[in-house]
């Protein structure tokens, strides 16, 4: 009994000492944190092989002596910056794929300008993506391409696949892609047509401001912002933690405007009417039926995704028409799944294994 | 006994657990509150006020710039639209030129020649 009491006292003493040291470090590192700029992101060497308006198509420079035959095209969301897949060396899906021997291309939609408020899903799915695919084929000299889409980029990718059966698409991988908006309960509630006048928003503002989008994503976990700041203070002594925190915080607050017409279409047809899930969605008067997707397909979802809850993503695999299709659920959240510290052990190897055996 | 000692000896771990639990509880509580009609209605009203202010400001600024004989936002956007239309046409012409100069899907694409002069690795890799 006495020995236990002594051990406890000694342990408390060492913990208090350690906390005092950390408190000192927090003060020093805290000043550093405030006085230094944002960390550099998107550093993997690349060339812009095509640009059109704000759109840029990148080709990343190879990091392996030999690459798989089929190039990989990464399609990103319309509302966030693409560097989430290329944060920093060692924490970059792009860099990982290059080192595994893939020839990697990426569509960066850029920041929509006020005149881009006219853009609709038709422009992205029937024009921009096929155009970029053509440029990838031309640049690589190959007749087919693999596509990887993240979040809303996944939605665009499956729409592209559904609208171009028999096209050059060879394999399709999606991460955390919503299809059934009934599963996005809070978003659906907030955009209730009785109170959410999407026409007036788009007619008045044109593109939907990034602040509005950021606020709505933040409201999904309203207490997490404050808890995040507390954790940052607690871990201010830890360089690795603060670096990672800054990068993710920068990306999360670095939202871009949502092109107005596309937002209107997304709200009315996908959020309210749930047409993509019901098989009623049309692009330029043609049905966009996910059953038309017949290429090998994988959908990787996150167990703790609060932005795209599993209820909104789980129907994607059953809806696509591919014979070779599968869903994989991995630990993590919406962002940590693709770019968190554990992505290198979870998502990235899964993607590598699935894609490599289909890329020759 | 060891567990008891560990818990007692690390009040900071208890505090961190408390932060995590509080975050979870508050998120759950606030999410419930936000999943109501009243919340959506309030949000809708706030949005209405914001849009009214925005529209009034746009109108006032538009009149102000017109009086000063300066282009308004609408004028600049119209100009932007026309430039975008020209840009789109150039893209089409560029595509046609590329198709003429590289009839075999990109084997000798001008894009490849201009932007990627470095030699590329062979496409012969096989899965391990």
Cα–Cα distance for residue pair B49/B53, rounded to 1 Å: 6
The torsion defined by the Cα of A206, A211, A217 and A221, in degrees rounded to 10, comes to -150
pLDDT at A283 over 90: yes
A52 in B contact zone (CB under 8 Å)? yes
Contact yes or no for A189 and B40 at CB 8 A: yes
Residue A53 at interface with chain B, using a CB cutoff of 8 Å: yes
The arithmetic mean of pLDDT across residues B109-123, rounded, is 61
Tokens of A26: 């927090």
Has residue B113 got a pLDDT over 50? no
ipTM over 0.90: no
Using the predicted structure, report yes or no on whether residue B9 has a pLDDT greater than 70: no
| Closest partner CB to A138 (pick from B43, B84, B109) | B109
d(CA A236, CA A245): 10
What pLDDT, in 10s, does the model give residues A137-149?
A: 999 999 999 999 9
The C-alpha angle B18, A215, A304, rounded to 5 degrees, equals 50
Q: How confident is the model at residue A124 (pLDDT cuts 50, 70, 90)?
A: very high
Task: Tell me what pLDDT residue A39 has.
Answer: 77
CA distance B87 to B84: 5
From the candidates A132, A144, A151, A262, give the one annotated as an active-site residue. A151
Q: Using the beta-carbon criterion (under 8 Å), do B43 and A195 form an inter-chain contact?
A: yes
Q: Do B19 and A68 touch (CB under 8 A)?
A: no
**Span A192-208, pLDDT tens digits:** 999 999 999 999 999 99
Q: Which CATH class is domain A46-356?
A: alpha beta
Per the CB < 8 Å rule, is A189 touching B27? no
CB A335, CB A247: distance < 8 Å = no
Q: What is the pLDDT of residues A219-230, one digit of tens each?
A: 888 888 899 888
Which A residues in the span 182-221 are in contact with B, Cβ-Cβ below 8 Å? 185-186, 189-190, 192, 194-197, 200-201, 204-206, 219-221
Interface test with B, best of A1, A20, A168, A222 (most B CBs within 10 A): A222
pLDDT at B76: 85
By Cβ distance, the residue of B8, B84, B109 closest to A115 is B84
How far is the C-alpha of B97 from the C-alpha of A23, rounded, in Å?
65
Interface test with B, best of A201, A223, A235 (most B CBs within 10 A): A223
Active site residue A262: no
- Cβ(A337)–Cβ(A176) under 8 Å? yes
Locate the chain B residue with the closest alpha carbon to A144. Answer: B105
Query: In this predicted model, what pLDDT tens digit does every residue of A286-336 receive, in sequence order?
Result: 999 999 999 999 999 999 999 999 999 999 999 999 999 999 999 999 999
pLDDT in tens, A331-357: 999 999 998 888 999 999 999 999 999
**Radius of gyration (C-alpha) of chain B in whole angstroms:** 31
Query: Cβ contacts (< 8 Å) between A49 and chain B: which residues?
Result: 111-112, 115-116
Q: Is A38 a catalytic residue?
A: no
Whether A305 is catalytic is yes
pLDDT at B77: 81
């Amino acid at each position: 009994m006495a020995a236990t009491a002594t051990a406890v006292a000694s342990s408390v003493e060492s913990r208090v000492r350690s906390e005092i040291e950390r408190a000192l470090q927090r003060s020093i590192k805290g000043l550093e944190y405030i006085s230094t700029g944002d960390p550099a992101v998107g550093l993997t060497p690349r060339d812009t092989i095509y640009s059109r308006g704000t759109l840029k198509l990148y080709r990343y420079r190879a990091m392996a002596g030999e690459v798989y035959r089929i190039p990989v095209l990464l399609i990103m969301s319309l509302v966030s910056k693409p560097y989430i897949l290329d944060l920093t060396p060692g924490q970059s899906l792009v860099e990982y794929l290059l080192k595994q021997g893939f020839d990697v291309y990426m569509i960066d939609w850029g920041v929509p300008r006020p005149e881009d408020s006219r853009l609709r899903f038709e422009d992205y799915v029937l024009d921009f993506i096929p155009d970029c695919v053509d440029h990838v084929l031309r640049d690589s000299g190959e007749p087919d391409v693999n596509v990887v889409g993240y979040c809303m980029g996944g939605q665009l990718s499956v729409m592209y696949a559904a609208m171009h059966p028999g096209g050059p698409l060879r394999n399709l991988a999606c991460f955390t892609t919503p299809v059934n908006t009934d599963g996005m309960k809070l978003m659906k509630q907030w955009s209730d047509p009785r109170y959410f006048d999407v026409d007036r928003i788009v007619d008045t503002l044109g593109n939907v401001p990034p602040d509005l989008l950021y606020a709505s994503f933040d409201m999904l976990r309203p207490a997490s912002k404050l808890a995040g700041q507390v954790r940052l203070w607690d871990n201010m002594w830890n360089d690795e933690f603060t670096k990672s925190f800054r990068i993710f915080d920068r990306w999360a607050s670095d939202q871009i405007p949502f092109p107005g017409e596309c937002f209107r279409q997304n709200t009315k047809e996908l959020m309210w009417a749930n047409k993509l899930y019901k098989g009623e969605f049309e692009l330029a008067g043609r049905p966009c039926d996910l059953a038309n997707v017949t290429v090998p397909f994988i959908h990787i979802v996150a167990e703790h995704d609060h932005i795209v809850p599993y209820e909104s993503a789980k129907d994607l695999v059953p809806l696509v028409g591919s014979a070779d299709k599968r869903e994989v659920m991995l630990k993590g959240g919406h962002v940590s799944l693709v770019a968190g510290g554990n992505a290198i052990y979870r998502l990235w190897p899964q993607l590598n294994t699935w894609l490599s055996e289909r890329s020759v | 006994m060891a567990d008891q000692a560990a818990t007692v000896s690390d009040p900071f771990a208890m505090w961190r657990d408390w932060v995590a639990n509080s975050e979870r509880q508050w998120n759950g509580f606030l999410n419930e509150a936000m999943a109501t009609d009243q919340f959506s209605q309030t949000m809708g009203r706030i949005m209405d006020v914001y849009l009214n202010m925005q529209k009034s400001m746009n109108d006032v600024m538009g009149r102000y710039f017109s009086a000063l004989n300066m282009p308004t936002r609408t004028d600049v956007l119209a100009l932007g639209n026309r430039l975008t239309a020209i840009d789109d046409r150039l893209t089409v012409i560029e595509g046609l030129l590329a198709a003429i100069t590289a009839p075999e899907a990109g084997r000798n694409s001008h894009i490849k020649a201009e932007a990627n002069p470095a030699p590329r690795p062979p496409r012969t890799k096989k899965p391990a």
